[in-house]
């Protein structure tokens, strides 16, 4: 197999790699905020539950979580493993990344000076209005660099989907490497991830720049 | 008619008894300065008046309507606190402008999106206020692009944009260097001339003496002396205030 055919075959899995990436962001970004707000709740039961969930998701390997979400339903309830593995893969990635995003959001929310809340309160903003109009936009600005970090990691982590044989780019590459006893597919995979992340970094830099019209 | 009235206000933080039965009132058009040593409870008093802290007991009222009442020995706040919030404005020591909003948006956002007032009308009013403060050219600037003095003046006009009946100042010049203090004090003096009702917590003695109709000297959580500035400064009765003024004049 020539380098070109290998690369083309692997590129056919890129669509699925992108699906994991974008769907995970789509679900994990808002879910992380929900978990962060739960964690900051004044009710001990809610904040306790949230911090327990976060500690489990951050304290166990993503690979294990992928396997648990994909095959767990079969072993626990006898439900057959769905043919479309995209669903369990995205579920596992989303809850895992939500836990990490939650901690980033929390650090951002906690770094907000109390004066911002007080100024808003005196001007008559409700709690919800204060959060969405005053706090949240500034939190985003503050956490962007750590978000970029996490998103770059997500690009690379999509390769973990090979553990449940989801046919994304890396899984295909690994199969070719095995059948052809070649190291080339791994090099190709490395290049793909590198280019993907270069694009991610470029976009995030643009976003950061667009938001830096004010100093905090 | 008194715009704001506080009677027998008590406030503790844990075992720290900060306000020990404070009573005073502010009439329409009156300028009241609150002076006193650090830790005497001046700022806490202001924060209680603006609902940033809840009082343990006592009565706060605005426009002769009670905000708090005593129910079985417990202090209960009215449900419609936001209706009362529209009566007053507060200028903070460290400005607390919204850094992600331009100067104009800082001023316009609450009147437009909270009070649902007409956007064009609010914009006109805000531009007039900025004009008056000599800040019209800063309308589209962000707070980070302004000097401390300008930021504090913007935070004053942001409070004014809500058309408050009474304006509170919590050490408005303490975060500014002496050079910038003057421009902020000038604005407050101008407002006093226009008969804006104000309560000012300050360490600027000369300013308090010049601008106030009434001066309140607090120490250890109680009002030690209050009255017209000539009386309080010129004919100080309490030992505590004499001592305070002596220390102050020595600097």
In a domain, A36, yes or no: yes
Which two structure tokens, joined as six digits, stand for A175? 């199969």
- In the block, tokens 């003096």 appear at B189
If one compares B18 and A76, the residue with the highest pLDDT of the two is: B18
**B162 at A interface, C-beta within 8 A:** yes
pTM comes to 0.89
ipTM of the complex as predicted: 0.93
How far apart are the C-alpha atoms of A215 and A120, rounded to whole Å? Answer: 19
How many Å lie between the alpha carbon of A65 and the closest alpha carbon of chain B? 39
In a domain, A5, yes or no: no
Q: What is the pLDDT of residue B72?
A: 84
User: What domains sit in chain B, N to C, each tagged with a CATH number?
Assistant: 2-250 (3.40.50.300)
CB within 8 Å: A214 and B144: yes
Helix, strand, coil shares, percent, chain A, to 5:
85, 0, 15
- In the block, tokens 């402008």 appear at B97
CB within 8 Å: B99 and A138: yes
Q: Is the pLDDT of residue A81 over 90?
A: no
Across the interface, which of A129, A138, A213 has its CB nearest the CB of B142?
A213
Q: How confident is the model at residue A82 (pLDDT cuts 50, 70, 90)?
A: confident
Q: How confident is the model at residue A2 (pLDDT cuts 50, 70, 90)?
A: confident
Mean pLDDT of A122-128: 94
Mean pLDDT of A119-128: 95
- Helices A184-211 and A3-11, packing angle to 10 deg: 50
Residues of B in contact with A122 (CB under 8 A): 50-52, 85, 88-90
How far apart are the C-alpha atoms of A107 and A126, rounded to whole Å? Answer: 23
- The whole domain housing A122 covers 14-163
Q: What is the pLDDT of residue B251?
A: 62
Q: Is the pLDDT of residue A188 over 80?
A: yes
In a domain, A138, yes or no: yes
For each of chain B's 251 residues, which pLDDT tens digit applies? 799 999 999 999 999 999 999 999 999 999 999 999 999 999 999 999 999 999 999 999 999 999 999 888 789 999 999 899 999 999 999 999 999 999 999 999 999 999 999 999 999 999 999 999 899 999 999 999 999 999 999 999 999 999 999 999 999 999 999 889 999 999 999 999 999 999 999 999 999 999 999 999 999 999 999 999 999 999 989 999 999 998 887 76
**Number of domains observed in the structure of chain A:** 1
Q: What is the pLDDT of residue B46?
A: 96
CB within 8 Å: A121 and B89: no
In a domain, A69, yes or no: yes
CATH number at residue A155: 1.10.3720.10
In a domain, A60, yes or no: yes
If one compares A213 and B50, the residue with the highest pLDDT of the two is: B50
How far apart are the C-alpha atoms of B72 and B62, rounded to whole Å? Answer: 22
In a domain, A180, yes or no: no
Instruction: Go through A37-57 and write b for each residue having 16 or more CB atoms within 10 A of its CB, e for each that does not.
Output: bbbeeeeeeeeeebbebbeeb
CB within 8 Å: A116 and B98: yes
In a domain, A169, yes or no: no
Q: Over chain A, what is the mean pLDDT?
A: 94
How many Å lie between the alpha carbon of A114 and the closest alpha carbon of chain B? 9
In a domain, A4, yes or no: no
H/E stretch holding B27 reads: strand B16-27
Q: Tell me the pLDDT tens digit for each residue of A26-48.
A: 999 999 999 999 998 999 999 99
Q: How confident is the model at residue A84 (pLDDT cuts 50, 70, 90)?
A: confident
């Amino acid at each position: 197999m020539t380098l070109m055919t290998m690369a083309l075959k692997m590129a056919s899995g890129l669509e699925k790699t992108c699906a994991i990436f974008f769907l995970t962001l789509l679900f994990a970004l808002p879910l992380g905020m929900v978990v962060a707000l739960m964690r900051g709740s004044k009710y001990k039961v809610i904040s306790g539950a949230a911090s327990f969930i976060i500690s489990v998701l951050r304290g166990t390997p993503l690979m294990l979580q992928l396997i648990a979400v994909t095959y767990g339903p079969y072993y626990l309830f006898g439900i057959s493993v769905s043919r479309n593995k995209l669903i369990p893969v995205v579920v596992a990635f989303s809850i895992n990344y939500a836990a990490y995003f939650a901690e980033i959001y929390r650090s951002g929310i906690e770094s907000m000076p109390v004066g911002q809340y007080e100024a808003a309160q005196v001007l008559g903003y409700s709690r919800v209005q204060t959060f969405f109009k005053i706090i949240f936009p500034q939190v985003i600005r503050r956490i962007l660099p750590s978000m970029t970090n996490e998103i770059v990691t997500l690009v690379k982590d999509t390769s973990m989907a090979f553990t449940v044989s989801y046919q994304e780019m890396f899984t295909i590459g690994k199969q070719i490497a095995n059948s052809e006893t070649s190291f080339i597919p791994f090099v190709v995979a490395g290049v793909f991830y590198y280019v993907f992340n270069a694009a991610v970094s470029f976009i995030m830099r643009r976003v950061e720049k667009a938001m830096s019209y004010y100093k905090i | 008619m008194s715009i704001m009235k506080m009677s027998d206000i008590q406030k503790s933080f844990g075992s720290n008894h900060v306000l020990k039965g404070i009573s005073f009132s502010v009439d329409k058009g009156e300028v009241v300065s609150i002076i006193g040593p650090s830790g005497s409870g001046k700022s806490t008093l202001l924060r209680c008046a603006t609902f940033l802290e809840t009082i343990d007991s006592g009565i706060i009222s605005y426009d002769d309507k009670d905000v708090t009442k005593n129910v079985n020995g417990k202090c209960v706040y009215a449900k419609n606190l936001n209706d009362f919030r529209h009566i007053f404005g507060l200028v903070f020591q460290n400005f607390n402008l919204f850094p992600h909003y331009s100067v104009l948006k800082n001023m316009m956002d609450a009147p437009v999106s909270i009070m649902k007032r007409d956007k064009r009308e609010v914009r006109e009013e805000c531009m007039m206020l900025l004009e008056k403060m000599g800040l019209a050219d800063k309308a589209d600037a962000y707070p980070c692009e302004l000097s401390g003095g300008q930021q504090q003046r913007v935070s004053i006009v942001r409070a004014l944009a809500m058309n408050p009946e009474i304006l509170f100042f919590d050490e408005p010049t303490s975060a500014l260097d002496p050079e910038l203090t003057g421009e902020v004090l000038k604005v407050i003096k101008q407002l006093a001339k226009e008969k804006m009702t104000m309560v000012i917590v300050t360490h600027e003695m000369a300013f308090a003496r010049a601008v106030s109709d009434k001066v309140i000297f607090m120490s250890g959580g109680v009002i030690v002396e209050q009255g017209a500035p000539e009386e309080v400064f010129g004919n100080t009765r309490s030992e505590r205030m004499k001592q305070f003024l002596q220390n102050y004049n020595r600097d």
